[in-house]
Structure 1
């Protein structure tokens, strides 16, 4: 016999009702979140934070692609933000604050490109005025030193403006400024070639690099006696295999050949004595570990309860019968009183516990000590390079699981020896480069009175030149004297 399922009463919610209710709750939460963010964005817009407000509306429009109003508000905020930025640029330009004007113009162009915003006629006109104002400013900032033959100074000013000039709206300005700088560099190269002398190898090297910087020819002089060819290495670092030793020597050789001490035609090869030790130590030890956890322990307590009791009693009461006579009768009444009693109850308390388990404590330590020395300046003590470093790591290995104590299987991961060694070799090469530059400056930049060739020799370090060097070089190079180290940034 098939018994049909009971039909739900009108008050019993169906599965469809529950689903619809959940969807309604989710929709209300989304609507509340959206309203809250819109309120935040509108508040930011009123405070003038238009770019930030537009970003919030952009997020909202992505989350609600069918809400066209969000897109309209976002686009309006973007246009207002662009108008504000361009207005700030125009105001700063009028007040003579060209750098501030170009900062605002750069932000305007960055946001316009990011948003792909189409400008109206008024903004297009203001943009053209700002481009013209930028051109006038760069004529002073870049064109003025270029016209004086200070091409390196002009180039550095132009490089500082590259983020702005990279925008297509200023491409013609960028090309014109680059042409001015290049022509200035070429003209200065021709002038400097006439000042070269046979007894000034360092000055002629500077001119060779200066002309090469502007794609012009100048003869390269023979190597000066202070310079060296590729270095040679003697000795080994204990613990390195042949490939690791070769990588170390190659990286240090590369650093030396990028220094002031190197010339491809150097008359001598410096011999660097190399020594040291590389070792990786590993250890394993059984250990007992503990993990704290909390256990909920039951216990019996007593609590008082109160109950109300109604007790019956008989009483006489008067009443009037149908004939109007007063009579008495016995009736049952009730009196109420409370009764307090104690009952046992089960409660729980948190008791701190410790979970004990066994694991292997694994440890690893990399140690590297490297020292190298060579005679680079016979007037001084040998050049010495030294580095010592180590990396110690440890962890526990086990396969124990105890969720209450947050204990899960563990397998420590250590830095591979090859990876750590490569990083240390790079650090050693960087230190080598820095110390070579310092050693060169100590050897050839400390003389109070310098000739032109000695000043050019000091500049080979590729670092900021001392004041006395800048004074000597400025007699010929002018403002470019402080920019000369750029020419020696690479071999």
Structure 2
């Protein structure tokens, strides 16, 4: 632990150096926002290092200059949408970093806000003036992240007021486009006006609509609580569908059928696990040794008196010899370890369906879901560490969560079938009246071309967005 504590400063230094290198490389490539983000991390790690703070602040400034500069350039090129993407980036970063702008950036920002104002007057204001409130609102919603910044509050209020007033004016106009015996058109007008907080009378439920549905039947394998959960999913799907109206008197009856089962199996099996064994064997190696051998030799020398004399001295000579020895070595040999275990398995299967008649002219609507889920594992008490074999005991996942997902899935299938059934019943007529087109729009999905054409005669391009008045309910 002491050693690790001593290493921590070194490790942190290496990490910081590596991060800083990445950040500097990004900055050289002109990716100042990304580089500043890395320096943010570095400053969090070492807030006392002024050099890091200065470098980070410099990168932030360059990032703001780059974002606003790009926005101005795109604006001059007529690429208003691209300009507003970078303007949003600039405002987001300025707010996040709490940056104070100099005179040059303040001036550029004001110019860019002016360009945005002009663009939004065309994008949002023009459709609003033409009575296309839903079209204008769609663009307004898309621009809300930009308009949410405090610098844009004046533009935001102008656009919101223009859209709201357009919706109110359109509501006044649509209230006059009605006739007797057109409950679906009157429902469309009611929803349109309510969307803009305006009043329009709500008509009684059309004869094609139903009140709360009942779901009865037996599903083998489900307990009462699970059947009730299934009814809740199906009820929610039905009451979110175009077939439902709270004030309708007719009550559709749907039958439930299906089965949930669990099968378990246990088999004795023989398993093998590979491992490596080191096996000894005898080998021969050549070795070399150096031998020192003494010998005598007569040599002359001069004594202290200068006389030459002879003496016998012992010297040593060296030579090497090679010899062979036996050695024990080990080789890796692949082995398999065999052992017995129980293979346990469990399989869950579910089959669910709901069926009922909603349109007497057609056959019953049926939603079906079939699915299965299985798990298996081995159980034994064998241990053999060389092959990484240790006792195993199987713990299977309880099926409740999976079954709950399947019940919800049938609700989703039912919801889709309800919408399709409505479209098949009321959106397939080639020639449509205004009432027929409004009834088709109730599906909350994209309008077929004939229905769009009829509604666009009254609503213009807003006709394409009418289904959202139902889908949002």
Q: How does 1:466-477 map to 2 (within 5 A)?
A: 466-477=448-459
Q: Does 1:262 align with 2:244?
A: yes
Find the partner of 2:194 among 187, 212, 217.
Answer: 212
Point out the more displaced range, 331-340 or 465-474.
331-340
The residue that corresponds to 2:125 in the other structure is: 143
Of residues 304-313 and 44-53 in structure 1, the stretch that sits farther from structure 2 once superposed is 304-313
Q: Which moved more, 1:31-40 or 1:157-166?
A: 31-40
Instruction: Return 5+ residue gaps in structure 1 as ranges.
Output: 1-18
* Aligned residue number for residue 459 of structure 1: 441
Is contact 2:358–2:365 with CA below 8 Å preserved after alignment? yes
Q: Distance in 1 between matches of 2:4 and 2:244?
A: 76
Which consecutive unaligned segments of at least 5 residues does structure 2 have? Answer: none
Q: Corresponding residue for 2:359?
A: 377
Render the CA deviation track for 1:188-209: whole Å, top value 9, x for unaligned.
1111111121121111111111
CA contact (8 A) 2:368 2:413 kept: no
Distance 1:412 1:55, change over 3 A: farther
Aligned to 1:302: 284
Q: Which residue of 2 aligns with 1:392?
A: 374
What is the CA–CA distance in structure 2 between the aligned matches of 1:468 and 1:371, rounded to whole Å?
34
TM score, norm. by length of structure 1: 0.89
Q: Deviations over 1:67-99 (max 9, x none)?
A: 111011011101110111011111111222110
Tell me if 1:70 matches 2:52: yes
Secondary structure (helix, strand or coil) at the match of 2:273 reads: strand
Higher deviation after alignment, 69-78 or 346-355: 346-355
Tell me what 1:125 maps to: 107
Aligned residue for 2:236, secondary structure, equals helix
Deviation string for 1:76-134 (max 9, x for gaps)?
Answer: 10111011101111111122211001100111122223323232333233223322322
Deviations 1:351-394 (A, max 9, x none): 33334444443322211101222222222222221111011111
In the alignment, the residues of structure 2 paired with residue 290 and residue 171 of structure 1 have an alpha-carbon distance, to the nearest angstrom, of 72
**What pairs with 1:470-489 in structure 2 (closer than 5 Å)?**
470-489=452-471
Aligned to 1:184: 166
Could you give the per-residue CA deviations for residues 162-220 of structure 1, whole angstroms, max 9, x where no partner exists? 22222232233223222211111111111111112112111111111111111111112
Q: Report if aligned partners of 1:321, 1:327 keep a CA contact under 8 Å in 2.
A: yes
Label 1:55 to 1:296 Cα distance change in 2 as closer, same or farther (>3 A).
Answer: farther
1:414 is the counterpart of 2:404: no
Partners of 2:112 and 2:381 in 1: CA distance: 68
Q: CA deviation at 1:477?
A: 0.3
TM score, norm. by length of structure 2: 0.92
Q: Which residue of 2 aligns with 1:225?
A: 207
> Is 2:243 the counterpart of 1:281?
no
Distance 2:115 2:434 in 1: 41
Query: 2:257 is paired with a residue of what secondary structure?
Result: strand
Q: Does residue 84 of structure 1 match 2:87?
A: no
CA distance in 1, matches of 2:154, 2:262: 59
Question: 2:155 maps to which residue?
Answer: 173
Per the TM alignment, residue 156 of structure 1 is displaced from its structure 2 partner at its CA by 0.8
1: CA distance, partners of 2:378 / 2:176: 72
Q: Give the superposition deviation at 1:254.
A: 1.3
Give the aligned partner of residue 94 of structure 1: 76
TM-superposed CA distance for 1:317, in Å, is 4.6
Q: Is the 8 A contact 1:258 1:490 kept in 2?
A: no
Measure, in 1, the Cα distance between the counterparts of 2:369 and 2:14: 61
Instruction: Tell me whether 267-276 or 196-205 shows the greater mean CA deviation.
Output: 267-276
Contact 1:302 1:342 in 2 (8 A): yes
1:355–1:162 CA distance, 2 compared to 1 (3 A): farther
Judge which range, 94-103 or 305-314, deviates more: 305-314
Q: Distance in 2 between matches of 1:264 and 1:22?
A: 69
Q: Which residue of 1 aligns with 2:410?
A: 428
The CA distance in 2 between the partners of 1:379 and 1:20, in whole Å, is 83
Alpha-carbon separation, structure 2, partners of 1:77 and 1:325: 93
Q: CA deviation at 1:23?
A: 8.3
Q: Deviation of residue 22 (structure 1)? A: 9.1
More moved, 69-78 vs 279-288: 279-288
Partner of 1:118, secondary structure, is coil
SS at match of 2:466: helix
Higher mean displacement: 75-84 or 409-418:
409-418
Structure 2 Cα separation of the partners of residues 203 and 36 of structure 1: 66
